[in-house]
Amino acid sequence: MADIIQLLPDHVANQIAAGEVVQRPASVVKELLENSIDAGANTIKLIIKEAGKTLIQVIDNGKGMSVTDARLSFERHATSKIKSAEDLFNLNTKGFRGEALASIAAIAHVELKTKQEADDIGTQIKIEGSEVVSQDPVVIPKGTSIAVKNLFYNIPARRNFLKSNTVELRHIIDEFHRVTLAHPSISFSMHHNGSELFNLPESNNRQRIVNTFGGKTNEKLVPVEEVTEVLKISGFVGKPEFARKTRGEQFFFVNNRFIKSSYLNHAINAAFEGLLRDNTHASYFLYLEVDPQTIDINIHPTKTEIKFDDEHTLYAILRSAVKHSLGQFNIAPILDFERDSNLDTPYNYQGKSAHTPHVEVDRGFNPFVDEKPKSTVASSSMSFKKEPVASWESLYVGLESKGNEVSGNFSEVQFETDEMTSSMFDEEETKKIQKTFQLHNKYIVNTIKSGMLVIDQNRAHQRVLYEDFLQQITVKEAVSQQLLFPLELKFSNTEVVIIKELQSQLEQTGFVFSKLDNEAIEVSGIPVSVKESNINAILEQIISDVENDVPDNNHFSQSDLLAKSLAKSLAIKNGNRLTIPEQEHLVNSLFACKEPSISPTNRTTFITMKVNDIDKKFN
Ligand code: ADP
Ligand code: MG
């Protein structure tokens, strides 16, 4: 039989390598920024269009390349950074594999302009899918500019796999932060679709963190310093009371390179043990320095994982250094979690004992006679008008939106509603046979012809709200409640970017933003089903959902994610008592849904138990 093995042509080999090196636009950003740093630049500008799908450009004032080097830089295994395998263990550059530019050029349209200081004229090269299209002299200042256009233009499967612009931009910003935080002495700027997102002047570590994450970050930082023979640590951890539900701000840098390490992350968690509220994560910005001989960076093409010779020792040193800092800065004793945990989390009103208000029932009350609304209800600070003869629908919304501004009073509000609704419906109710009841303030049991339904109240309500919000976003019919005083909220630049990306969809659900710029958001209108006091938590939840967006096979839809997120934030929690009318309303709304049987996150909303099956148990 004839020989069948052949060497792959270069451009195919490059495309295969690109599969590992370039997963998404953010990977290109990382490689280009790192090349500029290796070129000794002290000013680096990143320009992005459409989350990197149409353009990623990096302009630096580094040492540039000669005419020949400019051409060679796109060859695979072409690098100026190492000469032998031994050099791998004495690295002081970001790159060393010589495959980034070759990979990128195989799957995009690339335009390189570069000039060395001593040269009068620079070089411009255009490459499309590994093929050099042109090479010309060009007049430019010292440095290099690389523009990567139409990424994955020749690999439709990869291009289609890219997520929404919000998500891809988020990944780009993450990479940008990882690089910029590691190099505070270099000044960086980033532009997206023509507007400047970040402008980070040359500074020290602390200033860089504050410039990146916003002014309020400064007060959150606790310094960590430790020098031992094997490891030098500097940097900061976030005070525990500022811990967030998202893992966003967690950074390890080893010899100025951002790395991921779940093992070292564990060391930090161990140091914070007992100091964090449930489901929150401490932020950290830790700069570790080790002897390059004791680590191996070449275990993964993206170079974000490294192998340490002696991980256990590093773990122990790191843990004790962080613990020491938290103790030294008096962080630990200030917190009294027994007392604080409920006060700190307005959205977590579970487990609060109900305080029964004294309510007099007006037995002569007739719901069909027009009268002024009760003062307890009317005292709400919001302009939410309630008709005396309310449909179940509006009763329900009332319960959600009529909240007392003081967090934690949710149960009182409920009791008021409880009394009101029962006085309104008592007469009716007593005539009917009660068809629903609540089990453990968690399940609604409903009798049906063939037996009974057991409905998970939280999941069912999520389904109802999800379909409502999705409808509002797509049909644009939401009503907004105007706030008397616009609500000013503080978010970091990154978070503002996410909100901005979602702005039009949020507005379709009823949000009105009177201001939306770096670090400040002003909300002047909110959806009717939302309480003013919950806005911050809801927006935080949305941001965290966007950040933690798990890759799935379906096409990501922003509207869908937003509807899910809002539904999750606003759904009745387990532990909340519901009146009978509320229970019935929920059951009816659930079965009016398109897909009543599963929650927006694909979990069962109800189960049925047939009388037959129950009969059998009595045999
Ligand atoms: P690596 O960074 O691993 O060496 P790359 O493919 O990223 O591989 O780059 C190849 C070579 O091109 C580098 O070694 C460097 O000599 C040159 N190069 C790339 N980007 C720049 C830049 N911005 N300025 C100067 N030289 C650069
Ligand atoms: Mg490189």
Instruction: Check pocket membership of 301 for ligand 1, CB cut-off 6 A.
Output: no
**If you average pLDDT over every residue of the chain, what do you get?**
81
pLDDT tier at 164, thresholds 50, 70, 90: confident
Question: What pLDDT is attached to residue 369?
Answer: 60
The residue ranking higher by pLDDT, 307 or 492, is 307
Nearest CA to ligand 1 atom 23: 36
188 has a pLDDT exceeding 90? yes
Higher pLDDT, 18 or 512: 512
Task: Give the single-character DSSP code of 604.
Answer: B
Q: What is the DSSP string of 203-232?
A: --HHHHHHHHH-GGGGGGEEEEEEE-SS-E
Residue 346: per-residue pLDDT? 38
In this structure, the residue with its CA closest to atom 13 of ligand 1 is 79
Q: Phi and psi (nearest 5°) for 432?
A: -85, 160
In degrees, rounded to 5, the angle at the alpha carbon of residue 338 between the alpha carbons of residues 336 and 339 is 75
C-alpha 93 to ligand 2 mean position (Å): 9
Query: Does 74 contact ligand 1 (Cβ within 6 A)?
Result: no
- Residue found by looking up tokens 């093929």 in the block: 131
Q: Is the pLDDT of residue 352 over 50?
A: no
Measured in residues, the chain has a length of 619
Residue 297 has pLDDT above 80, yes or no: yes
DSSP codes joined into one string, 293-341: GGEE-TTSTT----EETTHHHHHHHHHHHHHHHHHHTTHHHH--HHHHH
pLDDT at 177 over 60: yes
Flag whether pLDDT at 193 surpasses 90: yes
Question: What whole-number distance in Å separates Cα of residue 576 and Cα of residue 408?
Answer: 13
Ligand approaching nearest to the C-alpha of 78: 1
Q: Give the torsion sign (CA, 591, 594, 600, 602).
A: positive
Instruction: Give 93's pLDDT tier (boundaries 50, 70, 90).
Output: confident
> Which atom of ligand 1 is found nearest the CA of 31?
7
Burial class from Cβ neighbours inside 10 Å (0-12, 13-18, 19+) for residue 87 reads: middle
Q: Which residues surround ligand 2, an ion (CB under 5 A)?
A: 35, 95, 100
Q: Residue range 409-413: average pLDDT?
A: 35
Q: Quick check: 355 pLDDT over 60?
A: no
> Measuring CA to CA, which residue among 213, 206, 200, 203 is closest to residue 249?
213
CA distance 75 to 105: 9
- For domain 212-328, the CATH class is alpha beta
**Number of the ligand 1 atom closest to the C-alpha atom of 60:** 23
What distance in Å separates the CA atoms of residue 88 and residue 117, rounded to the nearest whole number? 29
Nearest CA to ligand 1 atom 12: 73
**Cβ of residue 446 lying under 6 Å from some atom of ligand 1:** no
> Is the CB of residue 255 below 6 angstroms from any atom belonging to ligand 1?
no
User: Tell me, what DSSP letter sits at residue 534?
Assistant: G
Q: How much is the pLDDT for 205? A: 95
Could you give the angle at which helices 410-431 and 392-401 cross, rounded to 10 degrees? 160
The domain 10-200 having CATH identifier 2.60.40.1220: the answer here is no
18 φ, ψ to 5°?
A: -60, -30
For residue 490, report the phi and psi dihedrals to the nearest 5 degrees.
-105, 125
Distance CA(254)–CA(104), nearest Å, equals 26
The yes-or-no verdict on residue 468 having pLDDT over 80 is: yes
Query: 20 in helix, strand or coil?
Result: helix
108 lines ligand 1 (CB under 6 A): no
* Cβ–Cβ < 8 Å for 52, 172: yes
Ranges 361-365, 453-457, 529-533, most confident? 453-457
Ligand 1 atom index nearest CA of 98:
8
Task: Return d(Cα 346, Cα 408) in angstroms, integer.
Answer: 6
Nearest CA to ligand 1 atom 8: 98
DSSP string, 442-505: TEEEEEETTEEEEEEHHHHHHHHHHHHHHHHHHHT---EEEEEEEEEEE--HHHHHHHHHHHHH
Specify the pLDDT at position 363: 65
Counting ligand 1 atoms within 8 A of each CB, the residue from 21, 22, 35 with the most, and so the one to mutate, is: 35
Residue 14, ligand 1, Cβ within 6 A: no
Cβ of 217 below 6 Å from ligand 1: no
**Ligand 1 atom at minimal distance to the Cα of residue 94:** 2
DSSP 386-401: --SS--HHHHHHHHHH
Residue percentage of the chain with pLDDT more than 90: 41
Please report the sign of the dihedral spanned by the C-alpha atoms of residue 432, residue 436, residue 437, residue 441. Answer: negative
- Boundaries of every domain in the chain: 10-200, 212-328, 443-607
Query: Would you say the CB of residue 148 lies under 6 angstroms from ligand 1?
Result: no
Confidence of residue 40 (pLDDT cuts 50, 70, 90): very high
Q: Is 298 in the pocket of ligand 1 (CB under 6 A)?
A: no
Superfamily of domain 443-607: MutL, C-terminal domain, regulatory subdomain (3.30.1370.100)
pLDDT at residue 57 greater than cutoff 80: yes
Across 377-397, b (16+ Cβ under 10 Å) vs e yields eeebebebebeeebebeebbb
Minimum CA distance residue for ligand 1 atom 19: 35
The confidence score (pLDDT) of residue 435 equals 83
Q: Are 265 and 272 in contact (CB under 8 A)?
A: no
The dihedral over CA atoms of 241, 244, 247, 251, expressed in degrees to the nearest 10, equals -40
The answer to whether the CB of 25 is under 6 A from ligand 1 is no
pLDDT in tens, 108-124: 999 999 999 999 999 99
β-sheet bridge partners, residue 258: 253
Q: Which residue CA neighbors atom 14 of ligand 1 most closely?
A: 79
- The most confident of 190-204, 391-405, 501-515, by mean pLDDT: 190-204
- Choose one of 101, 103, 107, 127 to mutate for the ligand 1 pocket test, by most ligand atoms within 8 angstroms of C-beta: 101
- Give per-residue pLDDT as tens, 544-566: 877 766 444 344 467 788 888 88
Ligand found nearest the CA of 144 = 1
**Structure confidence by residue, pLDDT tens digits, 596-614:** 999 998 899 999 999 988 8
Q: What is the pLDDT of residue 549?
A: 62
